[in-house]
Amino acid sequence: MRKLLIAISLISALFCGVSYGAAPAVSVGIVDVQQILQQSPKVNAASEKLRKEFSPQQNELKSSQDQMQQLIDKLNRNGAVMQAKDKADLQAQIDKIQQDLTQKSQTFQQNVMNAQQKEMQDLLAQITTVVKGVAEKHNITLVIDKSAVVYSVDGLDMTAEVQKAFS
């Protein structure tokens, strides 16, 4: 009988479980980062800055493209009456401009992409800092981007406050 009582006591102790400490309370906030980016004047300013920075290179590419188009038009207009050597020289000139244009265009696109990514990383870092500040102000322990949330209660959305602080 005594062994049975000990066994029952041990089993009940295992099933009751022992709490070693209470889990910290988690409060969750939600932020729509896409909305913040779409409505932010900082994003427009960054876009304008990039446009100004890369405008001279874009104009240079356009100029080369126009020059090449003029030579192509000349070849199409006068090709039938041109001497073979002149026609070959003109075609070689067109080919060279086209190669240069292709190379410069690829370099330009890569530079623009890199600059856009850097600007976006800077903006996201600023947004993260603002989100952290708003979360700490409201004792929120976890903030999730709205694009990752399937369902939430409206009271958890911090987007408007973060938008105001970010602008």
| CA atoms of 115 and 51, how far apart (whole Å) | 11
Q: What is the pLDDT of residue 13?
A: 46
In the chain, % helix, strand, coil (3-state, to 5) comes to 75, 5, 20
Q: What does the DSSP assignment read for 118-140?
A: HHHHHHHHHHHHHHHHHHHHTT-
Does the structure show a pLDDT above 80 at 15?
no
Query: In the structure, what pLDDT confidence band is assigned to residue 5 with cuts at 50, 70 and 90?
Result: very low
Does the structure show a pLDDT above 60 at 164?
yes
Q: How far is CA 20 from CA 14, 16, 141, in A?
A: 14, 13, 22
Query: In the structure, what pLDDT confidence band is assigned to residue 1 with cuts at 50, 70 and 90?
Result: low
Report the topology of domain 24-166: Protein Binding, DinI Protein; Chain A (3.30.910)
Domain range list for the chain: 24-166
Q: What is the pLDDT of residue 23?
A: 61
Q: What is the pLDDT of residue 27?
A: 85
Q: What is the pLDDT of residue 143?
A: 92
Q: Are 98 and 64 in contact (CB under 8 A)?
A: no
pLDDT, one tens digit per residue, over 27-43 is 889 999 999 999 999 99
Query: In the structure, what pLDDT confidence band is assigned to residue 11 with cuts at 50, 70 and 90?
Result: low
pLDDT, one tens digit per residue, over 115-158 is 999 999 999 999 999 999 999 999 999 999 988 888 877 768 89
Q: What is the pLDDT of residue 19?
A: 52
pLDDT, one tens digit per residue, over 55-102 is 999 999 999 999 999 999 999 998 888 899 999 999 999 999 999 999
Q: What is the pLDDT of residue 167?
A: 82
